[in-house]
Amino acid sequence: MGKGGEGCGKGEMITSRPTADPDVFPAWAKDIQECEKRYQVNKKLGLSSAEVENRRKIYGYNELEKHEGQSIWSLILEQFNDTLVRILLVAAVVSFVLAWYDGEEGGEMEITAFVEPLVIFLILIVNAFVGVWQENNAEKALEALKEIQSEQATVIRDGVKIPNLPAKELVPGDIIELKVGDKVPADMRVLELVSSTLRVEQGSLTGESEAVNKTNKLVNEDADIQGKRSMVFAGTTVVNGNCFCLVTQIGMETEIGKVHAQIHVAAQSEEDTPLKKKLNEFGEVLTMIIGVVCVFVWLINVKYFLSWEFVDGWPRNFKFSFEKCTYYFEIAVALAVAAIPEGLPAVITTCLALGTRKMAQKNALVRKLPSVETLGCTTVICSDKTGTLTTNQMAVAKLVAMGGDAGTLRSFRVDGTTYNPSDGKIHDWPSGGMDANLQTIAKIAAICNDAGVTHSDNKFVAHGMPTEAAIKVLVEKMGLPKGSLSGGSAGSDILRCCQWWNEYERRIATLEFDRDRKSMGVIVNSKSGRRSLLVKGAVENLLERSSKMQLCDGSVVPLDQNSRNLVSCALQDVSSCQLRCLGFAYKDELPEFETYDGGDDHPAHDLLLDPSNYSSIESNLTFVGLVGLRDPPREEVHQAIVDCKAAGIRVMVITGDNKDTAEAICREIGVFGPTEDISSNSLIGKEFMELLDKKAHLRQSGGLLFSRAEPRHKQEIVRLLKEDGEVVAMTGDGVNDAPALKLADIGIAMGIAGTEVAKEASDMVLADDNFSTIVAAIGEGRSIYDNMKAFIRWTTCNSIGIQSSRQGHHEEASSQK
């Protein structure tokens, strides 16, 4: 094959070009050679400049479409597409004409006569202005989506590596290099792993709570987004590793482009709020009543302007007074105008504005006024899990250490749901402080770790792998060995204990994690000059490579079959709670590294350059303990779920995360009972989409869970609920939640953990990311909704009273005439 696929002649049909349609060619399910052939590219050389230009003519630029918004005039006219507003507009015009007519007839124009129509006009203008302003903000979600796209990429073209190429210039077939920290510029097929492992943080797109390991091996053709492990997606971030990828989709064909399209469609199909629908119905009924009253008033006064005599039983000699006919018509119209509650829009706007202020005091920031009353009508809350019901911060929940002999283990429950080391404590901690076994666990957790934690804007943020950050927080909760606080330079640091351990034993080499041995190791040099290997990884793999175990007093004994079974049972017990488990082990006998200090010229350095040697180095280990980690639920969520059920609001959880993990969280927060049979209440997104009667499933009593849900699944669930007459509130924080947030009757985004895309697509933002704030806001919304209904009744009755008063006044004036 020629450089950049130059063998493609000009005479070939356009269909021979590589397709960007994954339905036609699912690159994730094809091997590397087939992908190269399909996209007509050599991964070493990349595309030629000429081929890039040819493909750009076909596929365009790698950017999201910019949808033209409505013109300002169409937005203004749209604000008057409301029954009550049209009635008020007609009433204002009629009032103005009557005031003018009375002034002409009386010979003197009174300014006060024009106050009523001018006030109505002013109210309508203000309402139209507010409506236009809100509509103008609708496209901001799409703009926010563009901001998460990568701006630059490292590309191979014409056999040359081009750094910092504008990402919008990419075309299908381009070869891209990705490194740690890079934001993925397009949807791409992984061709080659340079590092032993590649991890990508794609939770905002898929809802997964952990970074995902990627591979260059093919996966099933019908895999969902989460299952496409050989693909990296635009807008996600590389957190570990280095690789080369093949661009398969760009622009609107990427997964994030599909989200963009779904948000746009949802924005175009926004419906009236429940209150507006009822006001329209009220306006239609009011119009009919006013019309009947007008005709009735005019007809009962017909004798004053139309009279006749009966001759031989037949009416004769008709007399008609045009002046009196006009006069009584004016009376009828005046009564109709009096019956219209012209102050209603102003009061509704004022009520909503005051409600917005009250909700802001409760950390619920309302972005659109009508959403205040929509909250009061909410019947179903569809909630994302990761970052909404949970903290989206990994935390250690259980620590298992060795006992005093080979037949015992110790288990410690660990509190805390954030990366704040002061959040929570370790229960049943030894009163005398850490024994030798616990010290070894703390040392391995602190040193065999590349993560960090910082404090900014009143929150603790993890840097690096969330699981590693959580383990460092555990080390801080464990504290330091007795007598160790006198030294060290990290007395005020957030991770002062971890820093102390890193000063106590200095890391001189790293054995990177890989998916085969599923562990990471570091070689350290202690202050005494002794070399040790510290390892953490999958418990099963460490047990296989361990031959000894350390007891609580520091003594080392053989790891026999009974001890292995004991640790395996502890692992099964921790895993049954849907906790992610990591084990710790070490090795002191390192003859090859006795004099190694990290230098390139040492013979042992060559061993570290080849990852295939890592398994043999990490053999004959001494096992010391394990931890169970999870993305914990927010503390306030359980009570909020109880309050929702008491208020008659159903809660459905829709997440992109693993089914077992999601079910465990749902049981813990009260969506499901501890022993409830949820076989029919818990489905993955793909299973739900295959159901023949989806609405019947959504009507089931009790809570519902949809796991491994893609953005289109979430949007479909919301759409079906709305079609079934439910008023739907959708909560979320990620890009994958944005289409459903936009389509829901009220979208609620997380203010702290939420992406800008989710915030801009929402109607309300939770400043404290507190799920219980939603329940409080719904209570406030119901109060506002009830108050507005009461005012509508009052103003209607008041208008009828005014109408009766005016009728009497006109009858008195008529008798005087």
DSSP code string of 489-501: S-TTSTTHHHHHH
**pLDDT, tens digit, for every residue of 449-468?**
988 999 877 788 888 888 99
**Contact yes or no for 590/531 (Cβ under 8 A):** yes
Name which of 763, 761, 697, 693 is nearest 727 in CA terms. Answer: 763
Q: Which residues contact 407 (CB under 8 A, 6 or more apart)?
A: 562, 563, 566
- Res 115: pLDDT: 73
**Dihedral angle sign, alpha carbons of residues 63, 238, 732, 709:** positive
Question: Could you tell me which residue, 798 or 773, shows the higher pLDDT?
Answer: 773
**pLDDT, tens digit, for every residue of 586-596?**
999 888 888 88
How far apart CA 225 and CA 684 sit, in angstroms, is 13
Cβ-defined contacts of 421-427 (< 8 Å, 24+): 421/453, 421/473, 421/476, 421/477, 421/494, 421/495, 424/395, 424/477, 425/477, 426/399, 426/477, 426/478
- Cα–Cα separations (whole angstroms), residue 408 to 304, 444, 446: 107, 21, 25
**Contact yes or no for 597/382 (Cβ under 8 A):** no
Beta bridge partners of 623: 549, 585
pLDDT bin (cut points 50, 70, 90) of residue 489 is very low
Average pLDDT over residues 525-533: 86
Question: 540 — phi, psi (to 5°)?
Answer: -60, -40
pLDDT bin (cut points 50, 70, 90) of residue 342 is low
- pLDDT above 90: residue 340: no
- What is the fold of 351-390+634-781? Rossmann fold (3.40.50)
Note whether 351-390+634-781 and 395-630 share their fold. Answer: no
Burial code (b: 16+ CB inside 10 Å, e: under 16) for 614-624 equals beebbeebbbb
| Assigned token pair, 47 | 């595309």
How far apart CA 18 and CA 570 sit, in angstroms, is 52
Instruction: Name the percent of the chain lying above pLDDT 70.
Output: 84
**pLDDT, tens digit, for every residue of 274-303?**
767 777 777 778 778 777 877 887 788 887
- pLDDT above 70: residue 245: yes
**Contact yes or no for 734/207 (Cβ under 8 A):** yes
pLDDT bin (cut points 50, 70, 90) of residue 348 is confident
- Res 337: pLDDT: 66
Question: Could you tell me which residue, 804 or 158, shows the higher pLDDT?
Answer: 158
- pLDDT above 50: residue 636: yes
Question: Could you tell me which residue, 315 or 682, shows the higher pLDDT?
Answer: 682
- Res 14: pLDDT: 37
**Contact yes or no for 105/326 (Cβ under 8 A):** no
- Res 157: pLDDT: 93
Which range is least confidently modeled, 229-238, 534-543, 590-599? 590-599
| Assigned token pair, 41 | 């590219």
Mean residue pLDDT across the chain: 82
- pLDDT above 50: residue 814: no
Please, is 295 exposed, middle or buried when counting C-beta atoms within 10 Å of its C-beta (0-12, 13-18, 19+)? exposed
- pLDDT above 50: residue 2: no
Which range is least confidently modeled, 68-82, 530-544, 643-657? 68-82
Question: Could you tell me which residue, 335 or 444, shows the higher pLDDT?
Answer: 444
Burial code (b: 16+ CB inside 10 Å, e: under 16) for 217-228 equals ebeeeebbbbeb
- Res 602: pLDDT: 85
- pLDDT above 60: residue 647: yes
CATH 3.40.1080.10 at 395-630, yes or no: no
Place of tokens 């094959």: 1
- Res 581: pLDDT: 93
Question: 640 — phi, psi (to 5°)?
Answer: -65, -40
- pLDDT above 80: residue 425: yes
User: Any idea what DSSP says for residue 591?
Assistant: G
The CATH number of the domain covering residues in 14-63+149-253: 2.70.150.10
Question: 625 — phi, psi (to 5°)?
Answer: 160, -175
pLDDT bin (cut points 50, 70, 90) of residue 270 is low
Instruction: Reduce the DSSP state of residue 390 to 3 states and report it.
Output: strand
Question: 355 — phi, psi (to 5°)?
Answer: -65, -40
- pLDDT above 60: residue 105: no
Name which of 184, 181, 192, 142 is nearest 167 in CA terms. Answer: 184
**pLDDT, tens digit, for every residue of 116-159?**
677 777 777 776 776 666 555 545 555 665 666 778 899 999 99
Name which of 280, 200, 194 is nearest 232 in CA terms. Answer: 200
Instruction: Reduce the DSSP state of residue 655 to 3 states and report it.
Output: coil
Beta bridge partners of 750: 766
What's this model's pTM, rounded to 2 decimal places? 0.73
- Cα–Cα separations (whole angstroms), residue 753 to 374, 413, 468, 740: 24, 27, 20, 18
How far apart CA 144 and CA 757 sit, in angstroms, is 5
**pLDDT, tens digit, for every residue of 697-754?**
999 888 899 998 888 899 999 999 999 989 999 998 888 888 888 889 888 988 877 7
Question: Could you tell me which residue, 605 or 24, shows the higher pLDDT?
Answer: 605
Please give the positions annotated as active site: 384
Where are the domains positioned within the chain? 14-63+149-253, 351-390+634-781, 395-630
Please, is 795 exposed, middle or buried when counting C-beta atoms within 10 Å of its C-beta (0-12, 13-18, 19+)? middle
User: Any idea what DSSP says for residue 776?
Assistant: H
Question: Could you tell me which residue, 120 or 499, shows the higher pLDDT?
Answer: 499
First CA to last CA distance, the chain: 104
- Res 599: pLDDT: 81
